[in-house]
Amino acid sequence: MDTVFIRGLEVETVIGIFDWERRIRQRVRIDLEMAADIAQAAATDAIEDALDYKAIGKRIIGFVGDSEFLLVETLAEQVAGIVREEFGVPWLRLSVSKPGALRGADDVGVTIERGGQWQ
Ligand SMILES: Nc1nc2c(c(=O)[nH]1)N=C([C@H](O)[C@@H](O)CO)CN2
């Protein structure tokens, strides 16, 4: 399986369950791995035949920056839906984390996989 990935995408957003978290913007980190057959893009050397990580990254930045979810779970599910539906991605693995949200830990968050098997 070929994949196209985005690692360490950081976006500031309103997220969290506590009152103080509703009043500030916090940094979330997104790691995304997407199934994509890269053969056609490699053969033509044309961006039109590729899964465009820049276009997907910009869409995620806009959506996450405007969102105000309580849980990282909800944010992850929503982002996964956008990537799958708008960009035709058949399978993805997505992590959403809040670096520094837990004292003593580097990072906390969730990882989800969505979509079926990919040859
Ligand atoms: N599974 C989760 N646990 C927690 C979340 C979350 O989004 N998913 N959020 C919080 C708080 O908002 C925390 O990040 C504040 O530091 C706690 N647990």
Residue-range domains of the chain with CATH = 3-115 (3.30.1130.10)
* Residues 92 and 113: beta-carbon distance below 8 Å: yes
Known active-site residue 98: yes
| pLDDT mean over 25-30 | 98
User: How many angstroms separate the CA atoms of 38 and 4, rounded?
Assistant: 8
The tens digit of pLDDT for each residue in 75-117 reads: 999 999 999 999 999 999 999 999 989 999 999 999 999 998 6
pLDDT at 117 (0 to 100) = 64
Residue 44: Cβ-neighbour burial (10 angstroms; 0-12, 13-18, 19+)? exposed
| pLDDT mean over 28-55 | 98
The residue whose CB lies within 8 Å of the most ligand 1 atoms, and thus the one to mutate among 24, 71, 78, 97, is 71
- pLDDT-derived band at 60, boundaries 50, 70, 90: very high
Alpha carbon separation from 10 to 25, 38, 51, 54, 56 (Å, rounded) = 12, 26, 20, 14, 14
How many angstroms is it from 7 CA to the middle of ligand 1? 21
Q: Which residues pair with 3 in a beta bridge?
A: 35
ipTM over 0.90: yes
Catalytic residue among 65, 98, 100, 108: 98
pLDDT at 21 (0 to 100) = 98
- The CA-based angle 8-118-79, given to 5 degrees, is 40
Flag whether the pTM goes above 0.80.
yes
Question: What's the whole-number average pLDDT of the chain?
Answer: 97
